[in-house]
Amino acid sequence: MEKLSIEDMAVFCKRKGFAYPNSEIYGGISGFWDFGHLGVELKNNIKREWWKFHVNDREDIVGMDGSIITHPRVWEASGHVESFEDVMLTCSKCKERIRADHFIEDKLKISVEGLDSKEIDKLVNKNKLKCPKCGSSFEDIKDFNLMFKTNVGPREDKTSVSYLRPETAQLIFVDFKLVVENARLKLPFGIAQIGKAFRNEISPRDFLFRSREFEQMEIEYFVHPDQTDKCPYVKEVMSKELNFYTEEMQQKNKKPIRMKVKDALNKKLVSEWHAYWLATEQKWFTDLGANPDNFRIRQHLKKEKSHYALDTWDLEYNFPFGWKELQGFSNRTDFDLKQHIKFSGKDLSIFDEETKKKIVPHVVAEPSLGVERAFLVFMFDAYTYDKKRGNVVLRLHPRLAPMTVAVFPLVSNKPQIVKKAKEVRDGLKKYFNVFYDQGGSIGRRYARQDEIGTTLCITVDFDSVEGSDVTIRERDTTKQVRVKIKDICHKIWEYMEGAQFEKLGKKIR
């Protein structure tokens, strides 16, 4: 099947209640999106799975939740006030403002990642590029800071200026000492956070991919400064295969190469810590149903690295508009902690029991993922049009699906069947997201649930009233089994934990 375009995905998401343009009744506002009744469930499931995998299931990572607005000095220390910028072009006639790098990449089909405003200006003049809206030349090229400014308190002058956070990461550095002491953390360890981030993107685009308000799921992973090259967990990922695209391959115009982590480490293509985190994060996606063929890992070119990064890799996904960053992994060294020590005058070092010395730990890799980009990945890899059924089947992993179960009375005009179906629904509701539907033919009701990814459908019929069992249908295969009502709950648990559908009960189709 041809890949769905991002525009088609936006239409599908709106039609089914996953995501809508924000404030559409007022004409909308570019770069802001709202999530509907199914979108919010999928988003919550993604965040819950991420938190469980990265925080609850591990001994070495704890969570925190910082505020969105923080002291403005935080952003001076982090370098965001000075360097968190994109180059912007302004049209001399219609005053349209556009993000220069994306515009040039679209027009000239070359990568301009990391070029400064002077180099971009040269390219614009050399290629006689004009405003895409009115065809006039550009009057102005300048750096545009992406942080949203606001005023804190009743005074609206520069003494009260603060910013909506452009990344959640800085709160982890600012609260570092407290979290380490409270949670009695020992190196190596991580601190994780999920929360909103805001960027005044010059040209937000591609639906949820690049928006002005989004959520991040980030980990700052800290290690001893003398142990930045040894990862104690690397054995866990040695046999994992990844699609490597190093800086050298890009410079020599070579194609990415699929290889085992152990071979990449032998060839010194990647550090142990990067290999561990990249493989672990790809596994998180694929364990939740994403297609491994749609992933590759790409090392940043020197000129595209952020001001704080020693080495950065991206986990990229093959979106319908090309391979793009899904998740970033920067080696931020001790840059952030040292900057906050300098700017705040506070001691953020920790005591190393072994050497009896104070040390400032290094962040060897910072897995940083946008919830909305993960949302798109799971939606694209789940979306299938089933010709035989004549409808879309959204094959979301059972732990991600907005609705786990739908319950239908076979017919809506028999009170004893409707009553039984509602009893079944109420029994399941305590444990799962349940959708109840008694409108239309059974076929139509199945199709509606397939389209929103509901994992299992339960039909209550005449025999259910007399014999106390129901039919359960599996979304992905349409197979059906008969299960006792008293057993449904734990059978669904077994299924969510990976049990084979046919083993849940007596097969009927």
Binding residues for ligand GAP, rule: CB under 6 A, are 167, 169, 199, 201, 210-211, 214, 216, 218, 325-328, 366, 368-370, 372-373
- The pairing of beta strand 456-460 with beta strand 405-409: parallel
Residue with smaller CB distance to ligand GAP, 207 or 432: 207
| Shortest Cβ 260–ligand GAP spacing (Å) | 25
How far, in Å, CA of 62 to CA of 270, rounded? Answer: 26
List Cβ neighbours of 117 (8 Å cut-off, separation of 6 or more): 87, 100, 141, 142, 143
Q: What's the chain's Rg over C-alpha atoms?
A: 26
Residue with smaller CB distance to ligand GAP, 370 or 453: 370
| Shortest Cβ 189–ligand GAP spacing (Å) | 18
Residue with smaller CB distance to ligand GAP, 192 or 405: 192
Question: With contact defined as beta carbons under 8 Å apart, do 105 and 111 qualify?
Answer: yes
Residue with smaller CB distance to ligand GAP, 218 or 450: 218
Helix (H) or strand (E) holding 444: helix 442-452
| Shortest Cβ 33–ligand GAP spacing (Å) | 10
**Other beta carbons less than 10 A from residue 407's beta carbon:** 26
Counting DSSP H helices and E strands in the chain, the numbers are 17, 26
| Shortest Cβ 234–ligand GAP spacing (Å) | 23
List Cβ neighbours of 268 (8 Å cut-off, separation of 6 or more): none
82 token code pair: 């000075």
Residue with smaller CB distance to ligand GAP, 272 or 325: 325
Residue with smaller CB distance to ligand GAP, 373 or 448: 373
**Other beta carbons less than 10 A from residue 69's beta carbon:** 14
How far, in Å, CA of 394 to CA of 372, rounded? Answer: 17
| Shortest Cβ 383–ligand GAP spacing (Å) | 20
| Angle of helix 117-126 versus helix 100-108 axis, rounded to 10 | 40
| Shortest Cβ 332–ligand GAP spacing (Å) | 8
Measured at CB, which residue is nearest to ligand GAP?
370
Phi, psi of 210 (to 5 degrees): -130, 100
| Shortest Cβ 31–ligand GAP spacing (Å) | 8
| Shortest Cβ 148–ligand GAP spacing (Å) | 12
Residue with smaller CB distance to ligand GAP, 104 or 369: 369
Residue with smaller CB distance to ligand GAP, 265 or 369: 369
List Cβ neighbours of 50 (8 Å cut-off, separation of 6 or more): 194, 217, 284, 369, 374
Residue with smaller CB distance to ligand GAP, 169 or 297: 169
State the chain's maximal CA–CA distance in angstroms. Answer: 81
How far, in Å, CA of 37 to CA of 405, rounded? Answer: 15
Question: With contact defined as beta carbons under 8 Å apart, do 106 and 50 qualify?
Answer: no
| Shortest Cβ 443–ligand GAP spacing (Å) | 38
